[in-house]
Structure 1
Amino acid sequence: MSQQERHDDAESHEILNKYQALGAKVISIRDDDSEGVEIVQQVMDSKEELFARVDRMNEFKADVELTYATASKIVNIAEYERRGRSNIDVDGLYDKLKQMIASQSAVTTMKKLGKVASAQSKRPPVIDFMVGPISLTRRVIERRRPGERLTFDENQQQSTRQLQSDEVANQNLQDQQTVTIRQIYTVLRQQVENSGGPVHYYEFVINPHDFAQTNENMFFLSFLVRDGKVKLDVDDDDLPVLSIAEPAERDEGSQAKRRKVSQTVISMDYDSYLKLIDLYDIKDTIIPNRDYSDLAF
């Protein structure tokens, strides 16, 4: 088209309106529309006829935008056909995601979605995804100059001595507890042999002179019951009694059968402690008093 044949503004406005109408028609085509390809072809034919009248820059721009829109629509239709017409309902998927997030924490939901997405992706997991962000701090090593004396931090020496002292105290406490449990077992065995039968639980554990050691006796005795060395039963009056557990019976050529051990919880407050002393008329303790003054704390 020569310079003398350039159309006026009114005709240019008409051309732009037609390009806009064709673009709206392309956008309205659904990917699952069986006639979508034919409609796109009709738009392309109309575009070719309209392009013959184009001679202004804004009209060329409108033609390029329409070309891009039709090409994108063809790609979407082809992708839909490749998926076997299995269109995804985005609104339905969004509603299900909202229900999932409402039923559990958002963090848990996002972790599940991330695992599903990563399994479908060909992108290798990055370091942050595998082990979290790595933050390494280089240790600064101070080098002594030749001839410089090595000095020690007094606070560090005191901390080391305190740690060693605490370890010794803990070891002494554990050793003392082991000795106490063995002593209680020995005393109970003697009581059972002397009485010729079970020993009443409260008469055995209660120290009428020391409420704290009474609770300690109950605590230490629980280890013997747990290990199956002592049996805790009830007599005809439904009162707890203690006896020494017999060794597990053995079958010829087989290993020893494990005894089924069951436990119960017995608590005692100070009022119950005083009432039990009066009820059983306990004058002295069967388990000897313990002296903790030699322990190093």
Structure 2
Amino acid sequence: MDESQGGSDPNRRRQIRHEYRDLITQLNNQEDDNPESLNKTLATADKLYEEVLQTKSAGIAALDAVLLHSASTVTYQNAQKLVVDNKFEPRQFTEKLVTLLTGRRNTGNNQREVNVKKEAWKDFGKDVQCCFRRAPPFHFMLGSFDRGPPVQKPKPPTDRQGAKPDGPAVVPVQIDETGKSQQEVTTEEVERMLGILKQLTMGDSQDEVEPISYFEFVINPQSFSHTIENIFHMSFLVKDGHVQIKLDEDGLPVVYPSQPFNPQEHNEEVPRKQLVLSMDMREWKEIVEVFEISEPTIPPREDKKARKKKNRAVSR
């Protein structure tokens, strides 16, 4: 906001800022807890604030807010230093209250009951209502009542004769064959993949092995999910030593069957290597186009419904 608004003198506005900064410095450097000094500072700030309203300066109003914050901090610190030794005595309070309401002094030795008029209570309530912002909560003078254990309600008797008849009996469905677990399915797929790899790479002699491209073997150009399954199953074959992976002359991975590692046949420890392979949908499509893969080398397995449908067609 432009400080020229309000028609006040710029020199006076500059002087007000200077006075506000002096008051803030005095509050921050004040070491004693003298309330008169604090009251004097706040009174000076009130007079300055009247001129702030005339100048309509946002910068000076911000200094006034900083001053009030510093004053509240100093007041809170002084309140924390106070030591209150006053202890509430219910008997003394009762004696003073009875004297105020009835006009007669009631000593502690006199334990008789005192009747207080209704009008006296009303007048007393009007006198003290300015000390409370809201009505005090109701509580028992001698503590809460002991309710005792909860009373258990008796349950109504069940009318078996008037009950509605049940529906038709439910017969459990007879299951012809139990479903295979995921581990059994994975084992079958790994064995099936190894059999397909041996048929493609081994010749007439078991010693002659011709490696096959890794991508052409595991990629299914028609299904990205089946490709990921093939890569997952291939990892088990490589881990157990049934399949080995190496790079050909072009630096591309090829796979071929091998004999599992037998620790008893080797005296030295063979180091193990681990490779993390990641493939997304875009990379899968690029591999299919570069290697010109049109048909999957590993056909996807048939589910139970497809096998039943195929068996019914053959039987007909």
**More helix as a share of residues:** 1
* TM-score normalized by the length of structure 2: 0.36
Give 1 or 2 for the bigger CA radius of gyration.
2
* TM-score normalized by the length of structure 1: 0.38
Bigger relative contact order (CA 8 A; separation at least 6): 1
